[in-house]
Amino acid sequence: MTASARPYLVYGMERSYFTRKMTGYLDYKGIPWRWRRSTMMQPALYAAGWSGGMPAIQCPDGQFMWDTTAMILHLEERFPERAVLPPDPVQRLLCWLIEDMSDEWLYRVAVGSRWHYPENSLAGGFELARDATHEAAATADETHRFLGAYVRSSCPGLGVTAQTIGAWVEEVLRPWMRLLGEHFGRHPFLFGDRPSLADFAIFGGAQAHFATDPVCRRWADADAPGYVKHQQRLLEIDAVELGEWLPVGELPETLLGIIADAGRLYLPCVSAACAGTAGQADLRFASGTLATVTLTPFLRESRGLLLGRYAALRNKAVDDALEQAGVLRYFANHLDETRPAPDYSEPPRPGLNQPYPPGAF
- We report the CATH number of the domain holding residue 124 as 1.20.1050.10
* Residues 12 and 100 grouped into a single domain: no
More confident residue, 123 or 157: 123
CB 208 within 8 A of CB 234: no
Domain end: 53, 78, 103, which one? 78
Pick from 1, 202, 216, 203: nearest CA to 105: 202
* Residues 107 and 144 grouped into a single domain: yes
Pick from 359, 312, 310, 346: nearest CA to 94: 310
* Residues 223 and 315 grouped into a single domain: yes
Q: Element (H or E) spanning 143, and its range?
A: helix 140-154
**Pairwise CA distance, residues 12 & 25, whole Å:** 15
**Pairwise CA distance, residues 77 & 18, whole Å:** 20
Residues with Cβ within 8 Å of 198's Cβ and at least 6 positions away in sequence, in order, are 94, 95, 96, 98, 99, 102, 190, 191
Model confidence, pTM: 0.95
Helix (H/G/I), strand (E/B), else coil: 215: helix
Domain membership of residue 124 as a residue range = 89-337
With cut-offs at 50, 70 and 90, classify the pLDDT of residue 354. Answer: low
* Residues 119 and 57 grouped into a single domain: no
Here the CATH number for the domain that contains residue 33 is 3.40.30.10
Pick from 273, 310, 317, 316: nearest CA to 295: 273
pLDDT higher than 90, residue 255: yes
Establish if 354 belongs to a structural domain.
Answer: no
* Residues 241 and 148 grouped into a single domain: yes
* Residues 274 and 145 grouped into a single domain: yes
* Residues 37 and 126 grouped into a single domain: no
Establish if 83 belongs to a structural domain.
Answer: no
Reported residue count of the chain is 361
Give how many domains the chain has, as a whole number. 2
Q: What share of the chain is helix, strand, coil (3-state, %, to 5)?
A: 55, 10, 35
* Residues 106 and 246 grouped into a single domain: yes
Mean pLDDT across 139-146: 94
Q: Element (H or E) spanning 152, and its range?
A: helix 140-154
The amino acid present at 161, given as its one-letter code, is T
pLDDT higher than 70, residue 355: no
The predicted pLDDT at position 361 comes to: 46
Which letter does DSSP use for residue 245 in this model? B
* Residues 74 and 93 grouped into a single domain: no
Domain end: 78, 101, 129, which one? 78
Domain end: 26, 52, 78, which one? 78
Listed in sequence order, the DSSP H helices in 185-293 are: 197-205, 214-223, 225-235, 253-262, 266-275
Establish if 202 belongs to a structural domain.
Answer: yes
* Residues 65 and 100 grouped into a single domain: no
With cut-offs at 50, 70 and 90, classify the pLDDT of residue 41. Answer: confident
Establish if 359 belongs to a structural domain.
Answer: no
273-332 pLDDT, tens digit per residue, is: 998 777 889 999 999 999 999 888 889 999 999 999 999 999 999 999 999 999 999 999
